[in-house]
Copies of this chain bind each other. A is one copy, B any other.
Amino acid sequence: MSNPRNPAPAGAEHAPLELEHFLPYRLSILSNTVSQAIADDYQRRYDLSVTEWRVMAVLARFHGLSAREVAERTLMDKVAVSRALARLVSAGRVHRDTHDGDKRRSVLSLTEAGWLIHDDVAPMARAREREVLEKLDQEERQWLTRILDKLQPVSQK
């Protein structure tokens, strides 16, 4: 009916999608490639998942957050945060207190061990990001930022 490994006949009434030019597909491939490259660095070395690293990153910036606030800042859902925190706390990387006036809330912070990991991983992550961005010239980098800003959903307040 039609020949293997060749595109469908031009007159075809089906208008198939060309994945390699389809934005969502391209974004997905790119995102996975980039994230994986970075995660490989610390994943094995510290047995640290991407979600855990994100939690650590926000706790490095904002002290005393609750789990819900971490979820807001990372745009992860609360279940993911809860699980990441469980592992981080039991690994001694995050300290969990209970909020004074509200016993439901946790008050989170990096432990000494958490900081050590953070201070090793953060520069590594930045270096990897730099490697990716080096493929672009200055002008392209500026456009990329601008484009991401316009496409990005709300971003956390």
Copies of this chain, count: 2
Q: Which residue of B lies closest to A69 (CB)?
A: B5
What total of chain A residues lie within 8 Å of the partner, measured CB to CB?
A: 69
Q: Which residues of B contact A28 (CB under 8 A)?
A: 31, 35
Q: Which residue of B lies closest to A15 (CB)?
A: B122
Q: Which residues of B contact A150 (CB under 8 A)?
A: 135-136, 140
- A18: Cβ under 8 A from any B Cβ: yes
Q: Is the CB of A63 within 8 A of B136?
A: no
**In angstroms, how far is the closest chain B Cβ from the Cβ of A37?**
8
Excluding A7-B62, A8-B63, A29-B152, 18 further A-B contacts by CB distance (< 8 Å) are: A4-B63, A4-B107, A5-B64, A5-B65, A6-B62, A8-B60, A14-B118, A16-B122, A17-B122, A19-B57, A22-B129, A23-B34, A24-B34, A24-B128, A25-B54, A26-B148, A29-B75, A30-B153
